[in-house]
Amino acid sequence: MAQKSNRKMNFKRLWSVLLLIALVFFSGSSPAPFFNKESVLMELVMNSLKYGHYDPKPVNDEFSKEVFEGFLNRLDNQKRFLIRSDIEFLSQYETKIDDQIKMGSYEFLNATISIIEKRIQETQEFYQEELKNPFDYSMIDSFQTDRDKYDYVSSTGELRERWRRNLKYATLVRTYNGVERNKDKADSLQKSFDEIEENARKKVLENHEEWFNRLDKQERDDWLAAYLDVIANLNDPHTGYFPPKDKEDFDIEMSGRLEGIGARLSQSGDYIKVVDIVAGSACWRQGDLEINDLILEVAQGDEEPKDVVGMRVDHAVKLIRGKKGTEVRLTVKKVDGSTKIIPIVRDVVQLEQTYARSVFLENKNTGNSKIGYIYLPKFYSNFNSPNGRTSSGDVRNEVERMKGEGVEKIILDLRNNGGGSLEDAIKMVGLFVDKGPVVQVKARDRQPQIYQDFESGIVFEGPLVVLTNFFSASASEILAAALQDYNRALIIGAKNTYGKGTVQRFIELDRQMDRLSKGDNSYLKPLGSLKITVQKFYRIDGKSTQLKGVTPDIILPDNYELIDIGEKDYENALVWDEISSADFQTLSAGVNSEIKAIQKNSGIRVKKDPYFMGVKSNAEYLKDQSESTKVPLNFDEYTSMQKLKKERSEELKKSAKAIEDFNAIPLPEDQVKMDEDSIFSAKREKWFKSIKKDHHLYEALNITSDLKGNTP
């Protein structure tokens, strides 16, 4: 979880130690020494980890072995490039990487890049040759989909055979899908099996050509970033290195906004293709840019344009993004082959799908339409702007809007919410609980610090339900745990949440460099950022959510309940532990007084619901499928397997049909906007349709209807 830089976290120890290191590292007889950027970057990353991480791993031979294995897995996780002799050659570095790290040396990285680039060039021939002729689908053959069951092969001949199976599998999937689509076509439009298979091979060939085109564009900085990220990840799964472009993307995701034109782009061979246009964005309003346009040149206003043909998409994006109010001119190639210069004035692009939104829910059988529903996809916050949009501010606004319409009870949906801003989670708890402790946060070698909601008063005092699932993580778990500990809300969901009980902070390496060096260091920048785990958080009752997550008060069947997912599946995850409880007062009139009756009623409904019966069966099926990792490469066998999967999927779809008694009612203000704005209306209507098919939400509505008290 990232948190704002002004959060009270004591990093004086880290910076004082780094300053001491800097006095040695940057000293010398020359008044302006020239430092190797990569050595400086390694030094900054490793010392940040050593002195800033909650539980840093010692850099020793064992660490070296883990870097060795982790980096090779990162570069070739399906073992389609490197062979055993490559690994044997590289194994000379297996216990030396720790020493190289301490010296700022990159011998292992350099040797690995040299080998992997050579193998990438050699394997291009494999896919080109194998896809020239039809595959024989009558053979009894299989493909292993679990990469963890692969080992490195001994020869290029065996490697080619691995490629053959992989390519055959990719073609088989496309061929099967083509045959199925062919059945629905008129007789005059139907194609033969051979034609469908040929088209499938062509598409697989195109995809591999694009993939290898991207691999060919890999630069030294890309390999370096991956290497540093692997090193950081060994400390825990949420610590990682972010090159400058990736940090920018993270900020956009966290804030839900960016300044640019509002087009989504992808690499298509040597071209940058427009694949989507965000409704309401600058290019959408301008009107000339279209999906499938190919961008040839980019100019800043009336400056000389830069050719972007052959350029990597992330480099092109840097040219296209820019400050609100500035103009970018795109020279594009249209589908009909014509070219056009399109001037676009950049604006703020709001990624609406990331923001909180609300609606009233109605069970027509009960007639109660005053139960509010708030969907919160993530805990977003604009860290770079004090006046930016925040999730806590938006949820407060939604609650107050519903209060104006007489809302009686509220469901807050945190399903699939992976977390975000810690500060917003704390403020959001304060909307439903009077001031007091919300979460305990512990830094390394320090006593726990209690983070509180200091704002007096409660925005909403009525019954509250929080909906979670296996993918509710971090800030979602803080909020759910606090409301559960206060006995303020009823938690409903899968058997547990994700189990991420750690706090991350970004260290901007450029700023760190500026602190450590007074000379001109501009030639070293940009260095990127390090997202680092600096604290663990604990519930106010003292228990950690790390690994175990939050256990709901009412557990509903879930498709993934028999599969191990969550924080506990990471090898490097930090351990679960417990500290002393904070001083807080459980609400005597909370949900516990009603829980037994509500659990009983919910259990009766769930057992009778065909949908939840199907979910139980599907969970068992998914468990079996997760353990069966071999796929037949015989067309008839593959067809039979897909038929069984399709039948099961259809059964689940039938049970997940729209619920007749379930209705979503927009707030009056939103209804007016829907009447005036067709784009907004289309998005809301699509959301309402998904709500009517959401059986977990429907059961949450029924449970909420059963709640009587729950008033603080």
Whether 656 shows a pLDDT value over 80: the answer reads no
pLDDT tens-digit readout, 155-170: 999 999 999 999 999 9
- Which has the higher per-residue pLDDT, 513 or 542? 542
Whether 19 shows a pLDDT value over 70: the answer reads no
pLDDT for the residue numbered 317? 85
Both tokens of 1, joined, read 């979880």
Helix 156-182, helix 107-130: angle, nearest 10: 50
| Integer angstrom CA distances of residue 389 from 257, 259, 453, 689 | 9, 14, 20, 27
pLDDT for the residue numbered 10? 43
The topology under which CATH files domain 257-350 is Pdz3 Domain (2.30.42)
Whether 428 shows a pLDDT value over 80: the answer reads yes
Whether 652 shows a pLDDT value over 90: the answer reads no
**What share of the chain in percent tops pLDDT 70?**
88
| Integer angstrom CA distances of residue 505 from 49, 163, 667 | 12, 41, 38
**What share of the chain in percent tops pLDDT 90?**
55
Least confident span in 329-343, 457-471, 617-631: 329-343
Distance separating alpha carbons of residues 392 and 489, to the nearest angstrom: 17
CA angle 328, 355, 2 (to 5 degrees): 90
pLDDT band at 7 (very low <50, low <70, confident <90, very high): very low
Same fold, 257-350 and 352-504+532-706: no
Distance separating alpha carbons of residues 318 and 548, to the nearest angstrom: 41
pLDDT for the residue numbered 333? 84
| Every domain of the chain and the residues it spans | 61-234, 257-350, 352-504+532-706
pLDDT tens-digit readout, 332-390: 887 766 778 899 998 876 666 678 999 999 988 876 678 999 999 889 887 666 677 89
pLDDT tens-digit readout, 44-70: 999 999 999 999 999 999 999 999 999
Give the 3-state secondary structure of residue 50: helix
Contact criterion met (CB below 8 Å) for 159 and 153: yes
Helical H segments across 131-243, by residue range:
156-182, 193-216, 220-233
Distance separating alpha carbons of residues 474 and 504, to the nearest angstrom: 10
pLDDT band at 26 (very low <50, low <70, confident <90, very high): very low
> Which residue, among 229, 307, 336, has the nearest Cα to 572 in the 3D structure?
229
The topology under which CATH files domain 352-504+532-706 is 2-enoyl-CoA Hydratase; Chain A, domain 1 (3.90.226)
The rounded mean pLDDT for the chain is: 86
